[in-house]
Each structure stands twice: as structure tokens, then as C-alpha cells.
Amino acid sequence: MTSRTVLTKRLSRDTLTTPQTGSVAKGRRNTMLRWGLYAILILFALFYLMPLFVMLTTSLKSLEEIRTGSLLALPREITFAPWAEAWSSACAGTQCEGLRPFFWNSVLMAVPAVAISTVIGALNGYVFAQWRFPGANLFFAAILFGCFIPFQVVLLPMAQMLGLMGLAGTIPGLIFVHVIYGIGFTTLFFRNYYVTIPQELVRAAKVDGAGFFRIFFSIFLPLSLPIITVSVIWQFTQIWNDFLFGVSFSGPGSQPVTVALNNIVNSTTGVKAYNVDMASAIIAALPTLLVYVVAGKYFIRGLTAGSVKG
Amino acid sequence: MPILEIDHLQKAYGDTHILHDINISIEEGDFLVLVGPSGCGKSTLLNCIAGLEPITGGTVRIAGRDVTGVSPKDRDIAMVFQSYALYPTMSVAKNITFGMKVRGVDKATQDQKLAQVASQLQIEPLLNRKPGQLSGGQRQRVAMGRALVRDPKLFLFDEPLSNLDAKLRVSMRTEIKKLHQDLNASIVYVTHDQIEAMTLATRIVVMKGGVIQQIGTPAEIYNRPANMFVADFMGSPAMNLIPARVRSEAGQTRIEIDRSGDAPLVITDPVSRDLPAEIVLGVRPEDIHEATGNAHLPGTAQGAGGDVMIDIVEPAGADTFAVTHLGGKPVTARLRAESAVRARAPFPLAFDLSKVSYFSPKDGERLN
């Protein structure tokens, strides 16, 4: 959304500055162009929002209403019962405690994994961008390569590894896997951000007497808010939404919310409770939405930082 | 004891040699300017002195102490960078005190030194601002403040004025010179601007391709350039380098210069002996005078000139530059503003032979 807003802003600014010399007809054509643009954008927005609309309305209907009413209709009577059930009593397999325990599993997994992978990425990026060492390019290529290894490839060796480390089926095990998988991306983010910081800054700090960590904490970290936001949003979304690692490496007590959501939707007793399923799905998706809403504006800024000067 | 002594310094990246056998020694209070075209290795040399670049061979001594393998922070130096390299998230005050904070200097001393430097550079109103809120000239001052507050043995300046506009550059140049005089500081200063080098330096090192071409005072460099490169690089407009032939006639050296549309110009040098048959005559524009009226200017040898065809006349306020062709090269003369010189007309010019340089056309080295 934000990138579209930027586009329309730029267009409107252009249309505002040009008519000074142009004719009235040209100004009118620009206005029509702008309205056309808005119409297209609104159309796309509606299209993309449709599933969310269906999910939200269905989750607020009773089962009775879902059976009799239309898919797109607004609820006649709003009920929050499906939400309560999804949160605390829906059955995932044989366990009927709702999403709540699994939601906290996901929090316990995602928060440390995001924090650790971001910190390691920041340090890696700092080294690759500012402390070149022989073979640095090779190392960086290897780390980058890690971004492109499909999850399925590592399932078996990782299971073996976690078993050897005694972390199989535990939340720390999942944290470990996600940190390893995240380092490639976070390193790339931070390295590309820090490359835009002039080397003379490091040199000046060296002459001033600062060492490796002092330069990092006093000079680089305070500059890093935009890229930390990018890293956190990216990692949080990846880790929170991950299903494959969650289903492969978790035990009965450590399943993340995505796995539980799958189990709730798939374990039915007779009638399919669409409203509970929809409520569960929204609950499972809320944290990533929230992170983006809170920090979204830094996300775009961080992704484009350094690409254009000034 | 020399404050800085560089002995047989070598610097190479793999097989690429950047600096060849650099030997420099300066005394306390000297203002050494490293000057040369871009890519000549002058900034690399400065970084080697700072310890920011490891060197491949030789030694660097600062105040008598061998610092060849010592890290930059322990060399007792302070450096001002081309981009100023101010820490963007810190206020001006924090920028200036950062070095002291890192070194664990107590707060009272920090504050006192900060106040002293701030008043010296007149940046007191800026102390709470961030570098992003400062103009180029103000950033430059803060960068100098950060160096001054350290009170080091040696100051290193890496093209500090090259990012400023022309007017500010001239005034900051004067300020740097004044600071040098007030503090009696020892400074190594890198620039590609030969005017900066001439105005600031007590000693100049002219470099090209990683090799020192000449070391000397500004006057030595200007008046007696060691080779054609130095002659051409230092001075604006550049020294005229005119190909010429030498004949020995009746014990006197006669120098023949081709003149367009006329017989060769012959001038007699009563002093110089043993010149090879082919030379390049180097003469500064201000050492070519108008030969009318007061024909025998002090130091001007008799017969050291003649009529030449003037191609272009460029009035420049205080002077008038007249461009002619001699020996197939354009030759510029700096004449008085009220000179009657006209373009596309012959005009009598005389060379001040006491100030000319002779170079070998083969290797460009100085002959006299």
C-alpha cells in the first residue's frame, strides 16, 4: 500500500507543477488520468481485501447463519463465540484447549529467534561492509547462498543435528533452526545497509581510538533503526508463518500456532465449524499484521535506504 | 629530532606497487603538503602514516618512536577527513569529545577542552546540533575541532577543503594557516590543488605514480622544479615548456626556438654551459616580459627575446595574458594590465634568463 501511496503522491505532484505552462485541456486530461488511476487502485484494493472480508464476516456469524446465508453477506447477528472457541476450546487433534497454548509457543519461539538472528545479522553485516578480510567475498557468497536453499533439503540433516544436540521436539530447537535459516537474510540486509555508510567514518573512529565493538555500538547501531525494522518484520513474518519446520521439528508441547491452526481446521467432528476456522486463522495471522502496521513505514524506508541519496 | 620520519616506505597490493621507496623527514612545526594528481598515492601515503593502511616495507617514526606496526589509536595522531567523517547520530559536542571518552579522559577535562576548542574555532552555538544540520564550512570546523581537541604530536589532513565551494575554500585555507602558526602544530596535508600546496606548506612533496618527484620549500619547488612534471604541475598558468636547440658559438650558449612564420628566435644565455643539443626551455609566464621601452629589465639578459606573433590576448584584471606559439607549443606571457599587446600582431617579448629552467627532453630531468 505504502509504495502505491508514494506513486500517487509523485504523480499528483507532477500534475500540480506542470499546468502552469500547459493548456487547460492538458490540466483536465491530467485530472481524468488521476481519477482513472484511483479507480484502478481502489479496484485492486477491493480485490485483495475480499478474502479478509469473507474471513472476518464468517468468523462473526453463527454456524446456522453460515449454512443458510450467502458467503458475501454481512452477519445478521454478530457473535464472538467462534473467537472464544478458537482461542480457548477448539480441538486440535485430541487436545481441546484452542489456539492459546500454541500461540504462546509461537511467541516463545519467534521473539528470541528474531532477536538472535537480527543481532547476528547486524554483526555479520558490519564485518562484511566495513572490516574486509581476505576471502570476505567468498564468505558472503556462501551466506547469501543460504537464502536460496529450500527448506525441504535440510529437513533430514537438521532433524539429525537437533537429535544430536538434544534439542529435538523443543522450542529452543525451533529457535535454533530459525536463527540458522534467518542469518542469510539478516546478514544481507545489514551488509547492504552498512555498505552505504562511508568508510571514512570507521577510519575516523579508529584514529579516535575506538575498537571493533565500540565503533559498532557507538556509530553503527544508532544509525540502524530502519534496517533493524526491516530485519525484525521480515524475520518475524517468516518465523511466525513457518509451517514446515514447525511441523517437522516440534513435539507435542512445542507446536507453533501454524501447526495448531492446521490441526484445528483438519480435526472435525461432524459439522465443519467454518466460523471457528476463520477466527483461528485470523488469530494466527494477527501478530504479523500488527508488526507491519506498527513498523511498516520504517520497512519501506529501510528497504530503499541507500538506494537513492538525499 | 624529526617529528615524522619515513624511511624507505613501500606499499603494494599484491603485485601492484602503489608507493615506491618513500623517504620523508619533517621537523616539529613543519607544514608538509603532499601534492599530486589523483591516483599518485598521496592519500595512500597519508593513510600509511596514520596506520590505517599496513605498509609493505620500510619504517614510519613519529617523534622518534617507531610506529610501523602500531595501530592508529596509539600513534598520537589526529586526522581530518575529506568527507569530514562526523558521527551522524552524535551532537557536535559528542563528536568532538568522542575520542577522549573512548580513551577514558575524565568528564571535567573533556568539558574544559571542548570549551577551549569550541571558542578557538567559534563553534560554540553549534555544540548541540547534529552534523546533518550544519553547513559544509561548519562541518569542516567541527572536523578540525575533533582533531585539535586531541592535542596530538602530528595532524593529518586528507583533502579537507575539496568539498567546499571556492570562496569558502580560500577563507578556510587562511584559517588553517593561522591555526598552524598559532599552535606551532606539525601537519601533513594532502591536496591535489597546487595553490593550496603553495600557500600552506613550509615543505612540499610532489608525487606522481607513487614516486616522489621533488621535496622542497614552496619557493624551491616553484623556482627550481626538479623535472618537467613538477614544472608543469605547480603554478597557474603552468610553466611554459618550449622545445629548443642549443648551439655553442664563440664560447656562448645560443638557444634557438622555432617561431611560426619567421626565422627561429635566437637567445643567448651567458651563464649556462654544457647543455645537450636538444633541450626543453621552461619559463614561467611572469618571467616573460614586454621588451619595449625599458628593454633591459633587471636580470634580463641582452638579446633574450624578439618579436613573436600573438595568437590570443586574455585580460584578467590585474594582468593580461598573451598567448603565442614557440617551438610548436602555446606559450603564455603574463604582462602588465595596461600592456598594448594585440592579438594577431607581432609583439616584442623578452625572457628573464636568470629564472629559466632547462630540461632534458629524453627523461624530463632538470639540467641547470
* B122 and B169 together in one domain: yes
* A46 and A189 together in one domain: no
The mean pLDDT of chain A is 85
What residues of chain B lie within 8 A of the CB of A198, using their CB?
Answer: 83, 85
Q: Which pLDDT score is estimated for A28?
A: 81
Which residue's C-alpha cell is 519501506?
A300
Check if A305 contacts B (Cβ < 8 Å). no
CA B80/CA A251 separation, integer angstroms: 59
Q: Which residue type sits at B304?
A: A
Residue A151 covered by a domain: yes
Predicted confidence (pLDDT) at residue B55 exceeds the cutoff of 80: yes
* B144 and B203 together in one domain: yes
The three cell numbers locating residue B284: 614561467
Instruction: Tell which B residues from 86 to 105 touch A, by Cβ distance under 8 Å.
Output: 86-90, 98-99, 102-103
A183-192, B222-231, B240-249: segment of lowest average pLDDT:
B240-249
Residue A89 covered by a domain: no
pLDDT tens per residue, range B301-326: 445 667 888 999 999 889 999 999 88
In this prediction, residues B99-125 reach a mean pLDDT of 92
* B161 and B274 together in one domain: no
Q: Which pLDDT score is estimated for B305?
A: 67
Q: Which pLDDT score is estimated for A302?
A: 66
Whether omega before B218 lies within 30 degrees of 0, making that bond cis, reads no
Measured torsion, CA atoms of residues B2, B4, B8, B11, in degrees rounded to the nearest 10: 180
* B266 and B176 together in one domain: no
pLDDT tens per residue, range B6-47: 999 999 988 899 999 999 999 999 999 999 999 899 999 999
Give A310 or B109, the one with higher predicted confidence. Answer: B109
Question: What band does A305 get if pLDDT is binned at 50, 70 and 90?
Answer: low
Predicted confidence (pLDDT) at residue A12 exceeds the cutoff of 90: no
Q: Which pLDDT score is estimated for B300?
A: 44
In this prediction, residues B235-262 reach a mean pLDDT of 85
In this prediction, residues A115-132 reach a mean pLDDT of 94
Check if A40 contacts B (Cβ < 8 Å). no
Predicted confidence (pLDDT) at residue B280 exceeds the cutoff of 90: yes
CA A280/CA A265 separation, integer angstroms: 9
In this prediction, residues B252-280 reach a mean pLDDT of 82
Q: Where is the domain boundary, B178, B213, B233?
A: B233
Beta-carbon separation of B87 and A219 below 8 A: yes
* A107 and A248 together in one domain: yes
End-to-end CA distance of chain A: 23
* A214 and A300 together in one domain: yes
The mean pLDDT of chain B is 89
* A6 and A126 together in one domain: no
Residue B367 covered by a domain: no
3-state secondary structure (DSSP) of residue A141: helix
* A132 and A244 together in one domain: yes
Task: Write the DSSP string, A184-218.
Answer: HHHHHHHHHHHTTS-HHHHHHHHHHT--HHHHIII
Give the phi and the psi of residue B190 in degrees, each rounded to 5: -105, 135
Q: Which pLDDT score is estimated for A304?
A: 62
What residues of chain A lie within 8 A of the CB of B52, using their CB?
Answer: 203, 206-207
* B26 and B135 together in one domain: yes
Contacts 24+ apart (CB under 8 A), B60-63: B60/B4, B60/B5, B60/B6, B60/B7, B60/B9, B61/B2, B61/B4, B61/B5, B61/B6, B61/B7, B62/B3, B62/B4, B62/B5, B62/B153, B62/B154, B63/B1, B63/B3, B63/B153, B63/B154
pLDDT above 70 coverage of chain B, percent: 96
| Domain interval for residue A105 | 100-304
The three cell numbers locating residue B105: 579522559
* B72 and B177 together in one domain: yes
**Which one of B71, B79, B103 has the shortest CB-CB distance to A204?**
B79
pLDDT above 70 coverage of chain A, percent: 89
Predicted confidence (pLDDT) at residue B204 exceeds the cutoff of 70: yes
pLDDT tens per residue, range B85-111: 999 989 999 999 999 999 999 999 999
Mutate to test the interface with A, among B82, B87, B151 (most CBs of A within 10 A): B87
Residue A181 covered by a domain: yes
In this prediction, residues B246-254 reach a mean pLDDT of 81
- Going by C-alpha positions, the residue among A277, A274, A253, A242 that lies closest to residue A263 is A277
Residue A162 covered by a domain: yes
* A46 and A105 together in one domain: no
Q: Which pLDDT score is estimated for A41?
A: 96
Residue B23 covered by a domain: yes
Check if A14 contacts B (Cβ < 8 Å). no
* A287 and A143 together in one domain: yes
Residue A78 covered by a domain: no
Mutate to test the interface with A, among B13, B46, B52, B144 (most CBs of A within 10 A): B52
| Domain interval for residue B142 | 4-233
* A111 and A31 together in one domain: no
Q: Which residue type sits at B329?
A: K
Question: What band does B270 get if pLDDT is binned at 50, 70 and 90?
Answer: confident
In this prediction, residues A48-52 reach a mean pLDDT of 92
Residue B365 covered by a domain: no
Q: What total of structural domains would you count in chain B?
A: 2
Give B262 or A85, the one with higher predicted confidence. Answer: A85
In this prediction, residues A139-164 reach a mean pLDDT of 91
**Which one of A200, A218, A223 has the shortest CB-CB distance to B83?**
A200
Residue B350 covered by a domain: yes
Residue B368 covered by a domain: no
* A32 and A116 together in one domain: no
Q: Which pLDDT score is estimated for B250?
A: 74
Residue A131 covered by a domain: yes
**Which one of A200, A209, A222 has the shortest CB-CB distance to B85?**
A200
Counts of helices then strands in chain A (DSSP H, E): 14, 0
Instruction: Quote the minimal CA–CA distance from B138 to chain A in Å.
Output: 17
Question: What band does A2 get if pLDDT is binned at 50, 70 and 90?
Answer: very low
Instruction: Quote the minimal CA–CA distance from A209 to chain B in Å.
Output: 4
pLDDT tens per residue, range A187-226: 999 999 999 888 889 999 999 999 999 999 999 999 898 8
* B226 and B88 together in one domain: yes
Q: Where is the domain boundary, B177, B210, B233?
A: B233
Mutate to test the interface with B, among A208, A213, A214, A219 (most CBs of B within 10 A): A208
Q: Which residue type sits at A119?
A: V
* B82 and B152 together in one domain: yes
Give B213 or B270, the one with higher predicted confidence. Answer: B213
* B146 and B225 together in one domain: yes
* B183 and B49 together in one domain: yes
Question: What band does A125 get if pLDDT is binned at 50, 70 and 90?
Answer: very high
Residue B364 covered by a domain: no
Task: Write the DSSP string, B161-198.
Answer: TTTS-HHHHHHHHHHHHHHHHHHT--EEEEES-HHHHH
Q: Which pLDDT score is estimated for A93?
A: 76
CATH number, position B181: 3.40.50.300
* B194 and B247 together in one domain: no
Residue A191 covered by a domain: yes
**Which one of B71, B81, B102 has the shortest CB-CB distance to A200?**
B81
What residues of chain A lie within 8 A of the CB of B77, using their CB?
Answer: 207
Predicted confidence (pLDDT) at residue A15 exceeds the cutoff of 60: no
Q: Which pLDDT score is estimated for B254?
A: 84
Residue A94 covered by a domain: no
* A272 and A185 together in one domain: yes
Q: Which residue type sits at B301?
A: A
Residue B96 covered by a domain: yes
Task: Write the DSSP string, B119-154.
Answer: HHHT-GGGTTS-GGGS-HHHHHHHHHHHHHTT--SE
Q: Where is the domain boundary, A52, A68, A91?
A: A52
Q: What total of structural domains would you count in chain A?
A: 2
Q: Which pLDDT score is estimated for A14?
A: 45
